[in-house]
Amino acid sequence: MNLIKGAWKILVGIKDALVLVFMLLFFSFLFMAMQAKPNTVIREGALVVSLDGQVVEQPEEADPFAGIGGGSEVMRQHRLRDVVRALDASIKDSRVKVVVLDLDRFAGGYPAVISEVAAAVGRVRASGKKVLAYATAYTDSSYLIAANASEVWVHPFGGTLFAGPGGNRLYYRGLMDKLGVNVHVYKVGKFKSAVEPYTRADMSPEAREANEAMYAAIFGQWKEAVVKARPKARIDDYLTKPDEVVAASKGDLADANLAMGLVDRKGDRLAFGSRVAELAGKRDEKRAGSFRAIKLSDYIEANPSPRGGDAIGVITVAGEIVDGKAGPGVAAGETVSKLLLDGLAKHRLKALVVRVDSPGGSVLASEQIRQAILQAKEQGLPVVVSMGGLAASGGYWVSTPGDVIFAEPNTITGSIGIFGMIPTFEKTLAKVGVTTDGVKTTPLSGQPDVMGGTNEVTDRVLQSVIEQGYARFTGLVASSRHKTVAQVDEIGQGRVWIGGTAHQLGLVDRFGGLDDAIAEAAKRAKLDPAKVHPVFFEKAPSGWKNFLGALFRDDDNDDWADSPGGPDAYARIAEAQRATFFQAVGDARRIAMGGSVQVRCLECAGLAPAAPRAEDRSLIQLLLARILG
């Protein structure tokens, strides 16, 4: 009898396994069928560049479970080079009758990224093709893009106020004292303000000096670009005395924007849609605000990167530099180095371009990526570095192998400094009557002791390690930039620079974007830049996540009249408050989880929008992600 029961259980198990295999095969074939769609057909209409979210160098892997289980809305990310390529392609495309910029839900990006998109919009306008921009309330970033349009629209109940870069950040010294947390900081660089939030109650004079200079330069470039795009706009009046301007319009922000020449027309989304329909044609004769539209995602797919000629490899170092493995949007040392080494082995490359958009992070991971880049030089390949919106600290560390470094005038770079941080809780435990004791055989036994505190020997050892790391960093920069270590130390010390100043200091060689870097790499390989194509070494997205994402994603709407509106000026202020919350969560995570020597630029974070991370998802989302990997 037991034998029969055992056999029956085996048969049931085999049956269940076969059902599972067939289900997996079914969904796999279904996914492949969905992926194998025919080439997108682009018909005449308005190219709708709907930038709902951020523009970034490398989007993080899409979370197919975003929004499930009441979790926070995950900010959408658009790849910079795709957006720019689409805008440039529209210039000579007769099917694109007008370009529409939907900036209602635009969250921004780093200054150099915004400038690159704005320049692309300007090229479309200069070609004679109409560009119409719309938002309920513009931010500083979205307005710089919109200013380059032929017509700038604003909602009658909306309107825009400009804040400029800067503002307060959180400092936790008082909280640490109340909790009894003792933060041990080991650093080199008087401008390395990344640790200040945990050790001070306010900004140090050195950090204030550096930030004032950086913000002033960035804001100056922003104003110059706006004035160039809209010379008749009275931008200075609106920036210096906004209260008087708004009061003169009786509190109507949209009227104030119109009076200052910042916008051309007021109207809701239906009125704007009707205006676009005059240029692109109506989609539905009976429906107000409807026009023939071309989705941005379809247009990007129909206009891929060039593929002819010799191959120039492009490795992207985007996001925080961390140890181990990670998906796109995070520069994990093991992942990035493997992608590069595999690419060098599999492709017959003529040169390598390193695209950097990172605030830095782990020293170990930064060095791992640098060593992989050096393998390209071992093969005799020219190496050109292209800095995006941000290439600071560890982002500069991985740039040192470059034969030439390109950056934008408002790229954030430098921050040549290094630090480590260890919190201990002996005072916290003492508050509740808990103490520690034990036997030590050496001065380092049990050290660093997060419960009992560090001793002087440990502090001296760890500080020596940091100082050696800084010497290593400045030595790399000195060798790369043909300077003495003393010269690098003078412009180092953790200070952050913008691209224009970095160029004057010799940290950057030329101004230009990724295409300029690829062209330079071709020239150094003795090739015609017009006859090469980039090969991007990037991790392939997860098939299952793509499949589920396609099921749950609410993609660009086909009809303008169906797309949601954006927040007004007050709602934008609320967004800034939420950003402060996410900043606090991130600061807490860094002190609790940061365990390695860091070359990181935390002060750079204030120049891009804050957003919830994957760790902030709901429990249901996390469980589903864990089940499906």
Q: Which residues are catalytic?
A: 192, 393
Whether the Cβ atoms of residue 197 and residue 171 lie closer than 8 Å to each other: yes
H-assigned helices in 36-99: 80-90
- The position carrying tokens 């202020």 is 573
Annotate 14-44 with DSSP letters as a single string: HHHHHHHHHHHHHHHHHHHHHHTPPPPPP-S
Of 496, 284, 471, nearest in space to 392 by CA: 496
CA distances in angstroms from 368 to 341, 384, 434, 493, listed in the order given: 11, 18, 42, 23
The values of phi and psi at residue 87, to 5°, are -65, -45
Strands (E) located in 51-150? 53-56, 77-79, 96-102, 106-108, 131-135
Q: If DSSP codes are grouped into helix, strand and coil, which group holds residue 348?
A: coil
Of 311, 321, 314, 310, nearest in space to 373 by CA: 314
* CA–CA distance, 48 with 100 (Å, rounded to integer): 5
* CA–CA distance, 10 with 379 (Å, rounded to integer): 56
* CA–CA distance, 66 with 70 (Å, rounded to integer): 9
Q: Name 99's bridge partners.
A: 47, 131
CB burial string 426-459: b at 16+ within 10 A, e below: bebbeeeeeeeeeeeeeeeebbbbeebbbbeebe
* CA–CA distance, 373 with 115 (Å, rounded to integer): 28
The values of phi and psi at residue 474, to 5°, are -65, -35
Of 153, 263, 159, 104, nearest in space to 570 by CA: 159
The values of phi and psi at residue 435, to 5°, are -125, 170
Q: Is omega for the bond preceding 448 within 30 degrees of 0, making it cis? A: yes
- The position carrying tokens 């002087």 is 456
Sheet holding 45-50, edge to edge: 265-266, 151-154, 131-135, 96-102, 45-50, 293-295
Of 158, 159, 144, 53, nearest in space to 106 by CA: 53
* CA–CA distance, 375 with 391 (Å, rounded to integer): 21
Q: Name 186's bridge partners.
A: 420
Instruction: Report the DSSP pairing between strands 293-295 and 404-407.
Output: unpaired
* CA–CA distance, 315 with 350 (Å, rounded to integer): 14
CA-based torsion, 339, 340, 346, 349: positive or negative: positive
* CA–CA distance, 156 with 421 (Å, rounded to integer): 50
- The position carrying tokens 């650093």 is 187
